[in-house]
């Protein structure tokens, strides 16, 4: 039986924009639009909940449904409170590492080595800016052991099999003096959520 798709807005973290657009393009979903909150909000997670509320309220009357492509991302449950109040569902998981890898697999990684620093395609692509420059390590190398002294390895959870990004991720591990590991996740976590909610 034919059914019309609800006009849907995805409010995503800017760090997920490319991956989300890739899924929408592949599925040829015309009834879905995407808007993003700045990825740099991860450096100030307390600002995420109200930024999300504002974005929801700006768009509520224009769409049949709104979905959030966000983990808790360090908000300590405050983002979920806002989403509950505004009637918006989000993808499950504490962060993008979990919904890219799946909760079960991510739990195995975390238990196997708690001292793991995770990279996604986005973080591998922008590592020097987001980690080395934004954390001030380029200007103050003495900060490196303060930030990363308790880490043992870098685990690159990749969404695409991209040789150039793998080289960047390996270089990132070397800059942090950490072991390097690579795991391909693909985009099935995003795909499954969107298929279930808007497909």
Give the residue, 1 or 154, on which the prediction is more confident.
154
Whether 77 and 155 share a structural domain: no
Domain end, chosen from 90, 113, 137, is at: 90
Rounded Cα–Cα distance for residues 151 and 162 (Å) = 25
> Which pLDDT value is given to residue 174?
97
Q: The whole model's pTM is what?
A: 0.88
Whether 113 and 171 share a structural domain: yes
Report if residue 178 sits inside a domain.
Answer: yes
Residue 178: count of CB within 10 angstroms of its CB: 18
Backbone phi and psi for residue 117, each to the nearest 5 degrees, phi listed first: -105, 120
Number of structural domains in the chain: 2
> Which pLDDT value is given to residue 2?
46
Those residues with Cβ within 8 angstroms of residue 93's Cβ, 6 or more apart along the chain or in another chain? 71, 99, 103, 106, 189
> Which pLDDT value is given to residue 155?
98
Report if residue 47 sits inside a domain.
Answer: yes
Residue 26 · residue 16 · CB < 8 Å: no
Report the CATH number at residue 84: 3.40.50.510
The 10s digit of each residue's pLDDT in 43-68 is 889 999 999 999 999 999 999 999 99
Report if residue 195 sits inside a domain.
Answer: no
Whether 20 and 84 share a structural domain: yes
The 10s digit of each residue's pLDDT in 133-183 is 989 999 999 999 999 999 999 999 999 999 999 999 999 999 999 999 999
Averaged pLDDT score across all residues of the chain: 93
Percent of the chain scoring above 90 in pLDDT: 85
């Amino acid at each position: 039986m034919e059914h019309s798709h609800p006009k849907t807005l995805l409010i995503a973290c800017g760090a997920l924009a490319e991956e989300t657009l890739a899924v929408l393009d592949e599925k040829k979903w015309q009834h879905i639009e995407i808007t993003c909150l700045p990825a740099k909000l991860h450096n100030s997670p307390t600002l995420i909940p109200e930024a999300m509320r504002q974005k929801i309220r700006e768009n509520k009357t224009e769409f049949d449904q709104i979905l959030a492509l966000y983990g808790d991302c360090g908000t300590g449950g405050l983002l979920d409170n806002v989403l509950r109040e505004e009637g918006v569902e989000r993808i499950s998981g504490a962060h993008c590492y979990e919904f890219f890898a799946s909760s079960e697999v991510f739990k195995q990684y975390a238990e196997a080595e708690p001292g793991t620093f995770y990279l996604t395609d986005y973080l591998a692509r922008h590592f020097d800016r987001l980690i080395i420059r934004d954390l001030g390590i380029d200007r103050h190398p003495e900060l490196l052991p303060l930030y990363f002294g308790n880490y043992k390895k870098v685990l690159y959870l990749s969404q695409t099999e991209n040789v150039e990004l793998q080289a960047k991720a390996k270089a990132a591990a070397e800059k942090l003096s950490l072991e390097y590991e690579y795991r391909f996740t693909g985009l099935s976590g995003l795909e499954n959520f969107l298929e279930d909610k808007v497909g």
